[in-house]
Amino acid sequence: MLNFIRGFLMGSADVVPGVSGGTVALIVGIYPRLIDNVRKGAAALGAFVRLRVAEGVDRLRSIEWGFLLPLLGGIVLALVSLARLIGNLLEDHPVEMSALFFGLVFASIFVARKMLTHWEPIHLATFLVVAGVAFVVLGWRSGEAEDPATWIFFVAGAVAICAMILPGVSGSFLLLVLGMYEAVLGAVNDRDLVVLAVFVSGAVIGLAVFSSVLYWALDSHHDLVMAAVTGLLVGSLRVLWPWPNGIEGPELSLPTADEFAAPFLLAVVGGGLVFLITRLGTRPTARVE
């Protein structure tokens, strides 16, 4: 049940442009374990593709299904049940919702920072460069694609899933940049099974490739990767800055006095939720075993 709840929180975050499910996995202390199991699944898929059935079965047996299946169940339920609700809230209350998630991501920076075992000049340089690049790149926007071809959903799935498991980079935001966010959200709300199957196929392939690279990076260069992740979280705050209109545009401005109090309070609530979840969750593991 706890893993199901963790998955539901991850799925809820993945619906929101600017918030990553990987950030939630980091907060609740399951990030290295998640990446390890995803990597094992990718290895099993690769074995089956090469027609090495026995090897594929062995690799499937090595996966912690008791951990992964409830997690995936929670993610899927959140995506299906909350897509319309969160979409409506973002449309009707962009400033308030952005402030809430701004507080969540801001507090997550401190969670990621604690996962560094050492803080050396190379880590500081990586943090600053990644934060600066992310801040600039995440200011880009693309217009929504009009009636996209089915195969484009495959590409969108492959790109988005990589961001969904990387803290600080939102898969939903990348869909927004690609102009595919409304199309994918519409497919979820309309239960368009063909389009969703294509999207999921792209996600599976993208996840298989990216998870192996990410696992190797975490295992071999843990502190460097976490410094980069911390930088991504800092840079991603641009997407969630509430003013003038939340996630709807990259422009940044200061609030007026009469519109500051409520968003500030919601940001504090978002940050408080992170520290509460971190306190209740499993202590983050410093390294992938």
Q: Please compute the mean of the pLDDT values over residues 115-137 and round it to a whole number.
A: 87
Query: In angstroms, rounded to a whole number, what is the distance separating the alpha carbons of residues 260 and 241?
Result: 12
pLDDT for 168 = 61
What is the mean pLDDT of the segment spanning 70-96?
A: 82
Higher pLDDT, 248 or 125: 125
The answer to which of 1-10, 148-157, 162-171, 276-285 has the lowest mean pLDDT is: 276-285
| pLDDT-based confidence at residue 101 (cuts at 50, 70, 90) | confident
Sign of CA dihedral 174, 180, 183, 184: negative
Decide if pLDDT at 181 tops 80: no
Residue 179 parent element (H or E): none
CA 13, CA 164: separation in Å to the nearest integer? 9
pLDDT tens digits, residue range 182-240?
788 788 878 888 988 999 888 888 887 887 787 788 788 888 988 888 888 888 787 77
Over range 258-286, report the average pLDDT: 72
CA distances from 236 to 24, 90, 135, 265 (A): 14, 17, 6, 20
Question: How many Å apart are CA 29 and CA 6, to the nearest integer?
Answer: 10
Report d(CA 286, CA 289) in Å as an integer. Answer: 9
Kindly tell me if the per-residue pLDDT of 247 is higher than 70: no
Q: Domain ranges in the chain?
A: 2-280
CA distance linking residue 144 with residue 12, whole number of Å: 22
* pLDDT at residue 284 in the model: 43
d(CA 271, CA 20): 15
Is-contact 18 172, C-beta < 8 A? yes
| pLDDT value at 282 more than 80 | no
